[in-house]
Structure 1
Amino acid sequence: MIGKDMLVLELASVLAGPSVGQFFAELGARVIKIENAATNGDVTRRWKLRSEPTETDTPAYFCAANWGKESMPLNLSKQSDLEQLYSLVKQADIVIASYKPGDAEKLQVDYKTLQTINPTLIYGHLTGYGPDDERAGYDAVIQAETGFMYLNGEPEGEPTKLPVALMDILAAHQLKEGLLVALLQRERTKKGQYVQVSLVQAAVSALANQATNWLVAGQNPQRMGSEHPSIVPYGTVFTTCDNKQLVLAIGDDRQFERLCNVLGATEMAHDSKFKTNYSRVQNRKELNELLRQLIAKQDQQQLLNSLHKLHVPAGAVNSVANVFELPQARQLLLEATDAKPGVRQVAFKVGDEKPVQLTPPPGYKT
């Protein structure tokens, strides 16, 4: 793990940049969140659920990505506050910024300026559209522009935004990777580096096989609900006799045969219309209807237990409340006395090291 001798300055707000800051806090770094004193800090301090009290300055959204940090409000348009930041930059290893192009230069906190203060500084810059487009990046708009909304939803329904700011999260993961590589290179070269990630390019790169469906096969992907364009049955939601739901993720023909055996429909696995994945894709509608009828006779947990024993990929459709009954999810909980719980950004373990114990998300103090 990284020690407290690593200093990370977070000149970022909302989700993408702050989640990178929390990632380094969980690795053991000292992270100082520089909040804009002119606007009363990170805007997510004011993004509250109806059930949250009006006076709280650490609402649920803010708690998603701000554990383990110190908060320092500064108005960088004031020379005294700017000088205070510069004194920290001299000691810093990493700066995380989320300014739209041109704004960091106006505030004199761009990489070129800060690199003259600290030549070994690594500067991670998140933008919406890259260095040549001054638009601010908002997740919902990026989802629309990069095809995610168009692809998400039922075939006859409207394009649908994903329920989390996934473009922010994808960009944050890319920035984490870039910063870690830059740290490795600095060990070898003793030089700092500028690492730039845009939400739009992170989103486009995450289109993965849906992108190559168009680029390679010439097929413009369409909304399919939770179906998969090239695997069947995969992602389809089925309802059991106890009115619970599950999904299947049948990746090969052996798994399909085991599924049929569990459902008491052995002959279906040998039917020429369903025997191979290619044939199942061709006969998707008919197969799904047969599976709906068979699964509707099953108890959810009993069926899942039988499938898991045979290594057939299947799982319950869980609510978020259900998710935190899973042991794997509970291992990621961040908890502290008299603090709202949070979720770790670091989901891996290094050897036998215990996770760093983080302080709760900091309140805002002027």
Structure 2
Amino acid sequence: MTPDEDALGGLLIADFGRVLAGPYATMLLADLGAEVIKIERPDGGDDTRSWGPPYAGGQATYFQAANRNKTSVALDLRTRDHLEIARDLATRADVVVENFLPGTMNRLGLGYEEVAAENPGVVYCSITGFGGDNDLPGYDLLVQAVGGLMSVTGPSPEEPTKVGVALVDIVTGLHAAVGILAALRHRDRTGRGQRVEVNLLSSLLSALANQSSGYVGAGVVPAAMGNRHPSIAPYELVPTADRALALAVGNDRQFGALVAELGAAGLAEDPRFAGNSDRVAHRAELLEALIPLLAADTADHWFTRLTAAGVPCGPVNDIGEAFALADRLGLAPIATIDDPRRDGPVATVANPIGLSTTPPTYRSAPPQLGESAP
């Protein structure tokens, strides 16, 4: 596709982001056609370049997860010459993204006011851990802890547990991308850029959704419930003849279909289980009734049979099995990039956004450090 055929073709993004939240946001925009120039320090580059194993083709796969479709320029912002190159890039870019500690870009003369004075149309996105001038270090694990996510994750309130991926960084990167696109739309109408600010803590509180809404609206402080749901039942893992099955029964019709397939249709008429609130109140008795029935066969058997009956469920897959499922469903979860700069094709996780006219494209593999001239 030519730049005119890409959704974001013709946009230039100066990417001062590091680690995950910023680079993930700019990769999504790069997949949609934006030109992204990644500015990295010469001595090692983005921290995630060294976050391995695993490695693929000599690169840490962590780095590869958020940096395709970009070029890399190595700049030492402590030197006058390299700082001038960075300033020139920022003052001609459509979008600037940075996630340094608050105040760092201002000290370098690369803050929003300085850049916007020469580039009034710039959309300038700052990503921080805790917003404003708070200079607490914004690491995902830390924010999962202090932001409440660990308190509702894990087997019990006594065992707070982190999510198995840097989810707060990813959610923040998505919020950053949405904010940037909204600011670009405003610029299309007015010609004026603006500053976009997102932070990890606020992004997490928003992403806690029903859990945070329950606190704000009703004063309820939730706690970890393992794989159970505070407001729906059965909505958790249940054992079968071989491995756990996730049951996600969200309404009375689905519950009726479940117990009918299990040969226990009468449970739907039991006053303890007739409605969702009843099932939540009598969760233990409900599981006591369901577990012996599900033990009669395997998780894959119940997945096939119950899904056909309209009951949401599925086995607990590992990552490889999850990709195999996506492949069977025709979702094409892996994007292979044929980049002449590499010895062979590079496999990356496909962009999940489907666009009928301007779909994501995969033009270049994650760059080697400083491979492009300043």
**Structural RMSD (CA):** 1.8
Q: Distance in 1 between matches of 2:129 and 2:138?
A: 4
Q: Paired residue for 2:348, among 317, 342, 363?
A: 342
Structure-2 residue corresponding to 1:107 = 108
Q: Distance in 2 between matches of 1:104 and 1:347?
A: 32
1:156/1:292 Cα in 2 relative to 1: closer, same or farther (>3 Å)?
Answer: farther
Structure-1 residue corresponding to 2:268 = 269
How does 1:247-286 map onto structure 2 within 5 Å?
Answer: 247-286=246-285
How does 1:188-203 map onto structure 2 within 5 Å?
Answer: 188-203=189-204
Shift of 1:353: 4.0
**Amino acid aligned to 1:238:** V
Would the aligned equivalents of 2:157 and 2:223 in 1 still touch at CA under 8 Å? Answer: no
Q: Distance in 2 between matches of 1:302 and 1:153?
A: 28
How does 1:1-366 map onto structure 2 within 5 Å?
Answer: 1-37=6-42, 39-49=43-53, 52=55, 56=58, 58-155=59-156, 157-234=158-235, 236-241=236-241, 243-325=242-324, 326-327=326-327, 331-337=332-338, 338-344=344-350, 346-365=351-370
Would the aligned equivalents of 1:89 and 1:117 in 2 still touch at CA under 8 Å? Answer: no
SS of corresponding position for 2:14:
strand
Q: Distance in 2 between matches of 1:358 and 1:85?
A: 24
1:154/1:301 Cα in 2 relative to 1: closer, same or farther (>3 Å)?
Answer: same
SS of corresponding position for 2:92:
coil
Q: Distance in 1 between matches of 2:330 and 2:147?
A: 30
Shift of 1:329: 8.0
Unaligned 5+ runs, structure 2 = 1-5, 339-343
Would the aligned equivalents of 1:34 and 1:71 in 2 still touch at CA under 8 Å? Answer: yes
**Amino acid aligned to 1:105:** N
Shift of 1:311: 1.7
Unaligned 5+ runs, structure 1 = none
TM-score normalised by the chain length of structure 1: 0.93
Q: Distance in 2 between matches of 1:308 and 1:352?
A: 33
Shift of 1:3: 4.8
Would the aligned equivalents of 1:323 and 1:329 in 2 still touch at CA under 8 Å? Answer: no
Corresponding pairs, count: 359
Shift of 1:299: 2.7
Shift of 1:244: 2.6
TM-score normalised by the chain length of structure 2: 0.91
Q: Distance in 1 between matches of 2:157 and 2:193?
A: 51
Shift of 1:124: 0.7
Q: Distance in 1 between matches of 2:370 and 2:171?
A: 31
Structure 1 residues 118-170: Cα deviation after superposition (integer angstroms, max 9, x where no partner) = 11110011000101211120100000011111111012651101111111111
Would the aligned equivalents of 1:67 and 1:360 in 2 still touch at CA under 8 Å? Answer: yes
1:52/1:184 Cα in 2 relative to 1: closer, same or farther (>3 Å)?
Answer: closer
1:291/1:203 Cα in 2 relative to 1: closer, same or farther (>3 Å)?
Answer: same
Q: Identity over the aligned pairs, expressed in percent?
A: 36
Q: Distance in 2 between matches of 1:332 and 1:36?
A: 32
Structure 1 stretches of 4+ with a deviation exceeding 3 A read 352-355
Shift of 1:212: 2.5
Q: Distance in 2 between matches of 1:324 and 1:211?
A: 31
Would the aligned equivalents of 2:9 and 2:32 in 1 still touch at CA under 8 Å? Answer: no
SS of corresponding position for 1:90:
helix
**Amino acid aligned to 1:264:** G
